[in-house]
Amino acid sequence: MRALRAQMDAFLASRVLTSGDDWAESVRRAVRIQAAADDVVRTVVQQARQNGATWQVVGDALGVTRQAAFQRYGKPIDPRTGELMNTTPLPEATELATAVIRDLVAGHWSQIAGQFDPTMRDGLSEDALAAAWAQIIGLSGAFEQHGEPEAARAGDMTITNTPLTMEAGDYTIRITFRDDRTIAGLFILERKDP
């Protein structure tokens, strides 16, 4: 905590905005300050948890659910091994999800199915994948665009959720990747208005 405090003091003492045209340096300084602030939040959350604060208390303070707080700051123990679990999503998961969506829209069923893990291959054929996409188009019209994928770690897998906008409906495509980048799950879920 002492090192974080010293780092934060140094950042706050330095000017973030420059008087010249060196906007790149201003952005770099702002990013360093943001990273330092994230480190402080992570440290305070860990201290709060060590002193008995619940995930509900932490989530309320962060303005998120207790599950979201846990997923971002928790350190779960794997019940199979007793070791800390990896909570970092697959680094390229969002790019992988975007590529699958491009292939889906283009009708490249074999390209997608070629990425399936054995369980997915046994449960979802190329024809069934094509039929599911055709059903979505039949219900909601042509694909218009997708939003930014979000990735989160869940046990041994990384789950991505990406908003899809069709002509007459909104969906979320949820793709689950294993660490070897194979697809362990693919769902197209209707998004309901709140």
pLDDT tens, the chain, 194 aa long:
676 667 666 666 666 555 566 778 777 877 888 887 888 898 999 999 999 999 999 999 999 999 989 988 888 888 889 998 888 899 999 999 999 999 999 999 999 999 999 999 999 999 999 999 999 999 999 999 999 999 999 888 999 999 999 999 999 999 999 999 999 999 999 997 65
Cα-based angle 6, 11, 17 (whole degrees, multiple of 5): 170
DSSP state of 85: P
Task: Specify whether the CB–CB gap between 40 and 75 falls below 8 A.
Answer: no
Distance CA 188, CA 136 (A): 8
DSSP state of 116: B
Note down the domain range covering 39: 2-73
Task: Specify whether the CB–CB gap between 142 and 166 falls below 8 A.
Answer: yes
Q: Model-level pTM?
A: 0.70
Q: Name the pairing type of β-strands 157-166 and 143-146.
A: antiparallel
Do 99 and 16 lie in one domain? The reply is no
CATH code: domain of residue 137? 3.10.450.590
The domain total for the chain is: 2
